Amino acid sequence: KKETVVLAYSGGLDTSCILVWLIEQGYKEFVEEFIWPAVQANARYEERYLLGTALARPCIARKLIEVAKKESATYISHGATGKGNDQVRFEIACYALMPTIKVIAPWRMESFLSRFAGRNELLQYATEKNIPVTATKAKSWSMDANLMHISYESGELEDPATEAASDMYLMTTDPENAPDIPERISIEFKNGFPIKVINKDGTVVDDALKLFLHLNEIGGKHGIGRIDIIENRFIGMKSRGCYETPAGTILQAAHIDIELLTMDREVFKLKQYLKTQFESQVYNGMWFSPECEYTRSCIALSQEVVEGTVHLKLYKGGVYVTARESPRSLYNQDLTHFSMYIEGDHNASDAAGFIRLNALRSREFQRLKR
Amino acid sequence: KKETVVLAYSGGLDTSCILVWLIEQGYKEFVEEFIWPAVQANARYEERYLLGTALARPCIARKLIEVAKKESATYISHGATGKGNDQVRFEIACYALMPTIKVIAPWRMESFLSRFAGRNELLQYATEKNIPVTATKAKSWSMDANLMHISYESGELEDPATEAASDMYLMTTDPENAPDIPERISIEFKNGFPIKVINKDGTVVDDALKLFLHLNEIGGKHGIGRIDIIENRFIGMKSRGCYETPAGTILQAAHIDIELLTMDREVFKLKQYLKTQFESQVYNGMWFSPECEYTRSCIALSQEVVEGTVHLKLYKGGVYVTARESPRSLYNQDLTHFSMYIEGDHNASDAAGFIRLNALRSREFQRLKR
Amino acid sequence: KKETVVLAYSGGLDTSCILVWLIEQGYKEFVEEFIWPAVQANARYEERYLLGTALARPCIARKLIEVAKKESATYISHGATGKGNDQVRFEIACYALMPTIKVIAPWRMESFLSRFAGRNELLQYATEKNIPVTATKAKSWSMDANLMHISYESGELEDPATEAASDMYLMTTDPENAPDIPERISIEFKNGFPIKVINKDGTVVDDALKLFLHLNEIGGKHGIGRIDIIENRFIGMKSRGCYETPAGTILQAAHIDIELLTMDREVFKLKQYLKTQFESQVYNGMWFSPECEYTRSCIALSQEVVEGTVHLKLYKGGVYVTARESPRSLYNQDLTHFSMYIEGDHNASDAAGFIRLNALRSREFQRLKR
Amino acid sequence: KKETVVLAYSGGLDTSCILVWLIEQGYKEFVEEFIWPAVQANARYEERYLLGTALARPCIARKLIEVAKKESATYISHGATGKGNDQVRFEIACYALMPTIKVIAPWRMESFLSRFAGRNELLQYATEKNIPVTATKAKSWSMDANLMHISYESGELEDPATEAASDMYLMTTDPENAPDIPERISIEFKNGFPIKVINKDGTVVDDALKLFLHLNEIGGKHGIGRIDIIENRFIGMKSRGCYETPAGTILQAAHIDIELLTMDREVFKLKQYLKTQFESQVYNGMWFSPECEYTRSCIALSQEVVEGTVHLKLYKGGVYVTARESPRSLYNQDLTHFSMYIEGDHNASDAAGFIRLNALRSREFQRLKR
């Protein structure tokens, strides 16, 4: 009896093709259900990586499982390697969404591995069979592109001491070639979601998907969002990756700014902890896990107040917040003014007491040390 | 009986004058004892502020108390306002180091506050008395400069929706006016400390203080380290501040990169938690507290392995890591290579088991949800 | 013009009188709005204190402010001392709920302090004026009783090396005098709330307030919930307190057990972090703060699955969980059975891969150490 | 060519035999290198389990690897099941300490599993072959005993709704049969380590191993340290276990008490976080991981001040701290006394300012909510 296999391409531009197709079908799922929660979280794995690939995986896996169920497939197959994160992300998501699904992963099969000893054999095979691929022997790295970013790894990037080729990046202009004139935009948020981009010419983009693509375009033009990093894979080893994430970089700068205008200090601290957890969960492929659903719910709870507009300048790779305003601002100009004490709030001598009591433990500590 | 008062200027350029004097006296204390631990921590209060002022305060306070003890002073006096962080930082540090010290804080005294209703009265008084000050009515913000950064706040900056004047920043060139040619440098670290800057012409700077000043100069030239943020003061209110921190910005980018090459993933996560704690402790003036001493010790413990060289490109406000290398690298190229399985490490099928067991909880969770 | 002062007794049995009165009025607010969230959290400040006083304070403060608003009072006054936590808890809650309220705190007024140098002067004054108080010279400690617990502190308890008098405790039998026969009960939870106590004779208590009082009675009879601890006050100093919390102790043992049966491992870890934050927030009087409201919401989110029945044995001061069951149990007996591998879940060899990949970092680490 | 296999028994009393032998050889390694760090940490996995088995595993694994190296063995073999934690703990430790070692785990081998379908077949086989085992058909649970505790699981314990048999526990008297007279002891700590037990008759035990065994004996007599819990295994499933840990339970109660007398509040909070991490690391078999070594070092750093004597009463399953004293106490009786304000420390009005500024955020928050 023949069994059906649903095939996923994860290793290259194919992924972005699938996403293009999804877009054409009218889906915005990736932006609204996967990227927006990451924007709310200010997610940045190990302080740097904006999780572009990690966010796409559960979205694709969900689609795969939809297809698998429709086609009564018993297998899915993907081209992710046996040392990377993507196999983990695809499979954990698929197992979660369809417990009986089985996985065929050629890069973990001895027969496949013995046939293709490395990337070169694979490129040669592709040439022989006229399979079009982005990676060439000259440009030996592999890349993975989606709506949110392009990632580059392996090949000559495998040596962390080697600088990436200047013509590698495809989604962003080299900052050195970016426009000499800065560009100004404003982004409006509600519930921690970006709902509007206002351009300098007054035009407005307010559809989630179009807004994101617009920021990709404008950010790409100004060379925004390139990073070259060492990161820790879930599987236990380190790897080197280069990423370009124009819209994601702009949105994070803007979101964190409006958040600090509208969110209480201690709630922000709690959310910082949840953010760190969320980053690992997403990176490790745990999107559909109980802990990630819980973390997303808690983060979403914190965003109800995150509302307002951030003004930005984009220039040669840099995103500069210049000003911000919000109807829910917690910034109280009267309160801040250095010499004005408002009745009922606090008076000039309060700070002295505050300080002395906060100094108590340090004083005892230093006294006992002597 | 007359009592001695030791006077501290904290509100303006005076602070930097004191620091210049300290430098002339051969002290590097600020760089090595205060800035370096912050570099080790990757400290960035509320994800953005590099703590330039907060780090200087305990250094100055320690000096004040040295003087107070030498002069048998019973009081210190400072010019920090009654709503800001600096009063807290100065006083907690002084109380810790000299429990019997008393504080005169004019900005918390009713007699002073009723004489000077606001900044304008103060500027007028300064004009009348020929007291030179940086702030003018035209440029109404106040600034605080030290070796590490200049901060700008109040005056017209008090409205968070108003963009800062383009000529406000004094330590860095406007990125738009920065050189059109990028500059490349390398920074070498040992024990998490920067020990060497190697310039493109091969010249080397390896003295801690000179290294920091050199990075300030080169970073300043390329417009690096400007931020405009909303932040949460310890005292409970929000404020808006602009900062420029050229060397600090470069060092953090470099340090975090070499750290991720050499530090284990889970140790890095533990350290991320400690970093968050350290940021609040320093911001809140708790440098000499038991918890901050403990946190610094724990962070220092993690830095023994942080060693190696990071290669950087500086260009129009941006710091780009291009490559890195280390004798203590945990990056194992053989291990990473996607199709090579080394005997004893793990084999092709291990990942399947790893994934299936990591999926167990998610599968149960999604199953029970249905 | 005369202004109205609302008076709060916090220093003694009066608090419990107020609560008794509230009960008579049919309020259950304290149990359902303050104690239940603490049960859901498994709250235990500094690993030991169940927060009996800290939970009562915001409940009382809210009542005070209701009265103050009805009576158009401009002041509240309380008898909490100037070194304790209760002043902080009362006042922060009152300021939050009524920003214009002012506070009269005799124990922080020089005129009061100079009149009454210490507890003895106060006891003498009470005797002279025929004011009935629990504290006597013989029994010099002060106590604070409410529905949830009695706390004892100061007086001879101030020396942490002195054992508390055996007849001090009023709410619980000395374990040595408790019944020689254990008592068995079952507690049923839903949404993390206790909804039913089933006694050995089959009788059931299912009203929140009655359920709590019933557990107080039965727990008190068996000597459950006494602790004698050193704790850290918000104000920066350490103190010694003795507490007895019979129902709270039983409920925590039961709640944590049913939680571990029904809650995912990683959600539990996230909740452990939130619990630690919640404990400090409540202890420090921050019940009505943005962070505490946020933390309570997040904890409540985690409790939807916490449902089932815990069987307990109470005996001479001890609470022993003996068994538990739940319709939402995540405990899968088939999965656990040591030699049975279920198709689709995982197979015998999966663990080997899981282990080898989890060992990867440790192996590299130990290898590099040698 | 024949290869050498080193055999480890982990499934039963054998473990304790090995430990007895180690003791006879004069090793105290287990107590001083594994149990003491857990005492310092106040380790209690998921709020309840004292990690008795998890601490023994890396100790045994280290011994195994010593033997394997001496005998030039290429394999180790253990009897831990393929669903439990112990396989993980043994193997990760062994892989860390000897990267080239290979593992034979019969409970993960299809040939073994098909021969023995379950525990009954195994018991029958043991009977046939005259292999002495503790588990019988009547008493179907398995147990694991070591110096620190005995754990019981599987068999009839597999149903979490079934109460454990009253005669199951071997290390502790049933509290109901424990002495009617409480016993008093004192424990002295230095650097967070217990260094002395002083009995009521004045006799002293100060050797680490003897001290621990003495507390086991005395605690066992009084029925101390029994728990019956649901816990989350590393492998992703829940299990039910019963444990008895007499000395460990007493030591944790005492250690936490002296810690709160001598350790700063905020250091304690930091350490609470590290403790939670340590618990998972140890439970998951990560003793020799970089993160666990780091965590242990950080915890040890916090213990330098933890010194003093705790007085305890043991009675029918309960451990009651009655008093404590320390040369490094941070408890300052003068500071605490409710009406005494010491010059320089703080004065009566300081608390008012402290409170008002701490109320600032809550006040703004509640104001904006209305």
CATH code of the domain covering residue A16: 3.40.50.620
CB contact under 8 A, D266 and A361: yes
Stronger pLDDT, A120 or A173, i.e. the higher one: A173
* Residue B205 pLDDT level (bands cut at 50, 70, 90): very high
Confidence (pLDDT) at B114 = 82
| Nearest chain A alpha carbon to D329 | A368
User: Does B184 participate in catalysis according to the annotation?
Assistant: no
Average pLDDT over residues A223-229: 98
Confidence (pLDDT) at A10 = 46
Q: Which residues of D touch A365 (CB under 8 A)?
A: 264
| Nearest chain C alpha carbon to D234 | C265
SS3 per-residue string spanning C59-115: HHHHHHHHHHHHCCCCEEEECCCCCCCHHHHHHHHHHHHCCCCEEECHHHCHHHHHH
Q: Which residues of A touch D351 (CB under 8 A)?
A: 353, 357
Is there a single domain that holds both residue D252 and residue D121? no
Asked whether residue A197 is assigned to any structural domain, the reply reads no
Chains in contact with chain C (at least 3 beta-carbon pairs closer than 8 A): A, B, D
Q: Which residues of A are marked as active site?
A: 14, 57, 86, 142
pLDDT greater than 50 at residue D286: yes
Confidence (pLDDT) at B15 = 47
Is there a single domain that holds both residue D6 and residue D55? yes
Of the candidates B301, B357, B361, which has its C-beta nearest D294's C-beta? B301
Total Cβ atoms within 10 A of residue C90: 26
Ordered DSSP codes for B80-141: --TTSSHHHHHHHHHHHH-TT-EEE-GGG-HHHHHH--SHHHHHHHHHHTT---S--SSS--
Q: Which residues of A touch C284 (CB under 8 A)?
A: none
Token representation of residue A177: 């070639």
CB contact under 8 A, C368 and B332: no
Rounding to the nearest 10 degrees, give the CA dihedral for residues C229, C235, C237, C240: -20
Asked whether residue A28 is assigned to any structural domain, the reply reads yes
Is there a single domain that holds both residue D124 and residue D199? no
CB contact under 8 A, D160 and C361: no
Inter-CA distances, C293 with C34, C274, D81, Å: 12, 12, 45
Confidence (pLDDT) at B187 = 98
| Nearest chain D alpha carbon to B74 | D344
Average pLDDT over residues B278-300: 97
Distance separating alpha carbons of residues A6 and C344, to the nearest angstrom: 18
Q: Are strands A102-104 and A75-78 parallel, antiparallel or unpaired?
A: parallel
Is there a single domain that holds both residue C178 and residue C318? yes
Is there a single domain that holds both residue C137 and residue C245? yes
Distance separating alpha carbons of residues B207 and D142, to the nearest angstrom: 64
DSSP state of A370: -
Question: Which tens digits make up the pLDDT trace of C168-221?
Answer: 999 999 999 999 999 999 999 999 999 999 999 999 999 999 999 999 999 999
Average pLDDT, chain B: 89
Is there a single domain that holds both residue C186 and residue C52? yes
Q: Which residues of D are marked as active site?
A: 14, 57, 86, 142
Is there a single domain that holds both residue A79 and residue A161? yes
Distance separating alpha carbons of residues B93 and B89, to the nearest angstrom: 6
Average pLDDT over residues D261-278: 98
Q: What is this model's ipTM?
A: 0.92
**Lookup result for tokens 């235990």:** C44
Candidate from A348-352, D185-189, D291-295 with smallest mean pLDDT: A348-352
Distance separating alpha carbons of residues C71 and C58, to the nearest angstrom: 20
Is residue D242 within 8 Å of residue D166, measured between CB atoms?
no
Q: What is the phi/psi pair of residue B195, to 5°?
A: -115, -10
Candidate from A94-108, C100-114, C236-250 with smallest mean pLDDT: C100-114
DSSP state of A4: -
Question: Which tens digits make up the pLDDT trace of C304-323?
Answer: 999 999 999 999 999 999 99
CA-based nearest distance B32→chain D, Å: 22
Please count the CA atoms within 13 angstroms of the CA of C144 that sit on its side-chain side. Answer: 22
Average pLDDT over residues D12-19: 46
CATH code of the domain covering residue D317: 3.90.1260.10
Asked whether residue A98 is assigned to any structural domain, the reply reads yes
**Closest Cα to residue A218, out of A200, A240, A230, A238?**
A200
Helical residues (DSSP H) of chain B, grouped into ranges: 14-24, 29, 36-41, 52-70, 86-97, 110-115, 119-128, 208-221, 246-262, 265-283, 290-302, 333-336, 350-358, 360-369
Is there a single domain that holds both residue B164 and residue B190? yes
Is residue A85 within 8 Å of residue A232, measured between CB atoms?
no
Asked whether residue A136 is assigned to any structural domain, the reply reads yes
User: Does C207 participate in catalysis according to the annotation?
Assistant: no
CA-based nearest distance D181→chain B, Å: 43
Q: Which residues of C touch D111 (CB under 8 A)?
A: none
Burial of residue B167 (CB within 10 Å: 0-12, 13-18, 19+) is exposed
Token representation of residue C320: 């022993």
Is residue D245 within 8 Å of residue D312, measured between CB atoms?
no
Q: Which of B10, B16, B142, B154 is catalytic?
A: B142
Q: How many domains does chain C have?
A: 2
Q: Sign of torsion, CA C329 C332 C333 C334? A: positive
Which of A254, A286, A301 is the C-terminal boundary of a domain? A301
Distance separating alpha carbons of residues D137 and D152, to the nearest angstrom: 15
Burial of residue B22 (CB within 10 Å: 0-12, 13-18, 19+) is middle
CB contact under 8 A, D161 and C324: yes
Q: Which residues of D touch A266 (CB under 8 A)?
A: 361
Asked whether residue A205 is assigned to any structural domain, the reply reads no
Is residue A347 within 8 Å of residue A365, measured between CB atoms?
no
CB contact under 8 A, D302 and B294: yes
Burial of residue B102 (CB within 10 Å: 0-12, 13-18, 19+) is middle
At residue D143, the 3 state secondary structure works out as strand
Ordered DSSP codes for D41-83: HT--BTTTB--HHHHHHHHHHHHHHHHHHHTT-SEEEE---TT
pLDDT greater than 90 at residue D228: yes
Beta bridge partners of residue C244, listed in sequence order? C150, C226
Asked whether residue A27 is assigned to any structural domain, the reply reads yes
Q: Which of B62, B86, B89, B144 is catalytic?
A: B86
| Nearest chain A alpha carbon to C354 | A235
Question: Which tens digits make up the pLDDT trace of C116-169?
Answer: 777 678 778 878 888 777 656 667 788 888 999 999 998 889 999 999 998 999
Question: Which tens digits make up the pLDDT trace of B125-177?
Answer: 878 888 777 656 667 788 888 999 999 998 889 999 999 998 999 999 999 99
Q: Which domain holds residue B338?
A: 333-369
Chains in contact with chain A (at least 3 beta-carbon pairs closer than 8 A): B, C, D
Asked whether residue A116 is assigned to any structural domain, the reply reads yes
Of the candidates A350, A361, A363, which has its C-beta nearest D357's C-beta? A350
Is there a single domain that holds both residue B351 and residue B260? no
Of the candidates B100, B297, B360, which has its C-beta nearest D236's C-beta? B360
Please count the CA atoms within 13 angstroms of the CA of A161 that sit on its side-chain side. Answer: 9
Average pLDDT over residues A187-212: 96
| Nearest chain B alpha carbon to A162 | B323
Distance separating alpha carbons of residues A83 and D158, to the nearest angstrom: 37
Chains in contact with chain B (at least 3 beta-carbon pairs closer than 8 A): A, C, D
Q: Which residues of C touch A361 (CB under 8 A)?
A: 236
Confidence (pLDDT) at B13 = 40
**Closest Cα to residue C194, out of C183, C174, C209, C175?**
C209
| Nearest chain C alpha carbon to A273 | C273
Question: Which tens digits make up the pLDDT trace of B232-242?
Answer: 999 899 999 99
Q: ∠ at Cα C123 (C120, C125), nearest 5°? A: 110
Confidence (pLDDT) at B218 = 98
Q: Which residues of C touch A85 (CB under 8 A)?
A: none
Gap between the terminal Cα atoms of chain A: 82
CA-based nearest distance A121→chain D, Å: 30
CA-based nearest distance D125→chain B, Å: 30
Is there a single domain that holds both residue A342 and residue A276? no
| Nearest chain C alpha carbon to A262 | C290
Distance separating alpha carbons of residues A338 and B121, to the nearest angstrom: 13
The strand order across the sheet containing B5-8 reads B5-8, B75-78, B102-104
CB contact under 8 A, A99 and B366: yes
Q: Which residues of C touch A277 (CB under 8 A)?
A: 270
**Closest Cα to residue A49, out of B257, B46, B279?**
B257
Is there a single domain that holds both residue D45 and residue D126? yes
CB contact under 8 A, A357 and D368: no
Average pLDDT over residues D316-345: 82
Is there a single domain that holds both residue B189 and residue B302? yes
Q: Which residues of A touch D353 (CB under 8 A)?
A: 346, 349-354
Ordered DSSP codes for A319-350: EEEEEEE-TT----HHHHSTT---TTT--TTH
Distance separating alpha carbons of residues A293 and A305, to the nearest angstrom: 21
CB contact under 8 A, D354 and A349: no
CB contact under 8 A, C357 and B345: no
Of the candidates A235, A267, A357, which has its C-beta nearest C235's C-beta? A357
Q: What is the phi/psi pair of residue C98, to 5°?
A: -150, 90
Inter-CA distances, A177 with A220, A315, A317, B312, Å: 11, 11, 10, 18
